[in-house]
Structures are given as structure tokens and as C-alpha cells.
Amino acid sequence: MNGYEARPIEPTALRELRETDDAGRPCVPRTATGTGDPLRCCLRGAEPGERIALVSYAPLRRWAAASGAKPGAYDEQGPVFIHAEECAGPAGERTGYPFSRAGALRAVRRYDAQGRIVGGRLLEIPAEEERGFDAAFTEAFADPGVALVHVRAVEYGCFHFEVRRHLAL
């Protein structure tokens, strides 16, 4: 990857979501029967037999609480799959971007430091998946006002992962 990191849901948020989700509902675990439910805790598809949960998650709200941003009406929540119990997070040897397959459609939504949407684009993932995402992120962060990017599935609007602007050290 071109220096962009797909970020999973933060461990503190996961602990909270495993109790009560961002819509105020209790977590209801179930056993995965098929493969592929996109787990936002470890950025991979679920395997049959794993204990997972579908919870409501508000990624921008949680980022805003930590950063002091005020997203106003742009604060939204939606369904995401997570492991029902603590997991190790993304595999260290993972390459490429999660939930990526050529031909799939993704919304690449840009937010400023206050949490307002400042643009976005449709990405049809090309055969060279990583290159397609890198180009979309490079384009997004070429605007100095972009603080973070959310990648979402077009079909369901589900949040897939976040990428943040790298800060100079």
C-alpha cells in the first residue's frame, strides 16, 4: 500500500459495542454459518463457527468525540459485523485493502477536521485493487482540508474502514 492504513474499529469502541451498540441496543452474538461477513474488528471475512454480532456503529461520532469535531447532521450510524468476543485484530501479514474485490463498488467519502463531508467519489475496484484504492486516497488527501476518509459499500452503505491523513512527525 502507498502509505495508507485501513483502520479497524478501535479496541475501546469494540469493548463498548460488545455490550451496547451505538444505537443503545444490547449486543446479540450469533454463530457464523457462512463465510464472508465483513468483520470490522479484524478486517477480514468471518469463518463458519465464529461467534459474531451485527451491531450499530457510529464511526464519525466516535472520531469526533476523540478529536473535538462537531459533525452535526453528518453523524450517522449503521450496521457492522464484529467478533462477539475479543479478537487479535487485523493479521500482521495482511496485504492490500480489506473487503476488496475487482468490480465491487465503494463510496470513498471525505471528511474535514470538523467531521463535515467535503467530497467523495465512487470507486469501482479495478483488477489492480490496491492501486485503485491508493489512487482514490491520494486524490482525497491532495485536498489539505481532508482529515479522514470512510470507505463504504455502495450496495448497502455499510462502513468498511477508515483511512486518516498521516501527520508529519
Listing DSSP states for 63-86 in one string gives HHHHHT---GGG---EEEEEESS-
Alpha-helix residue ranges (DSSP H) falling in 2-144: 11-17, 59-67, 129-141
Whether 96 has a pLDDT exceeding 70, the answer reads: yes
C-beta of residue 4 within 8 angstroms of C-beta of residue 146: no
Q: Do β-strands 51-57 and 78-83 pair in parallel, antiparallel, or remain unpaired?
A: antiparallel
Domain ranges (residues) in the chain:
11-83, 105-164
pLDDT of residue 169: 37
Determine what percent of the chain is predicted with pLDDT higher than 70: 97
| Residue 119, C-beta contacts closer than 8 angstroms, at least 6 positions apart | 109, 110, 140, 143, 146
- Give the residue-averaged pLDDT of 115-133: 96
CB atoms within 10 A of CB 151: 23
Q: Mean pLDDT in the chain?
A: 93
- Give the residue-averaged pLDDT of 71-96: 91
Please tell me the total number of residues recorded for the chain in this structure: 169
| Residue 167, C-beta contacts closer than 8 angstroms, at least 6 positions apart | none
| CA–CA gap between residue 50 and residue 30 (Å, rounded) | 8
**In this predicted model, what pLDDT tens digit does every residue of 23-66 receive, in sequence order?**
999 999 999 998 889 999 999 999 999 999 999 999 999 999 99
- Give the residue-averaged pLDDT of 154-166: 89
Quote the cell numbers at residue 168. Answer: 508529519
Strand order in 78-83's β-sheet? 30-31, 51-57, 78-83, 38-39, 44-45
SS3 content of the chain, % helix, strand, coil (to 5): 20, 30, 50
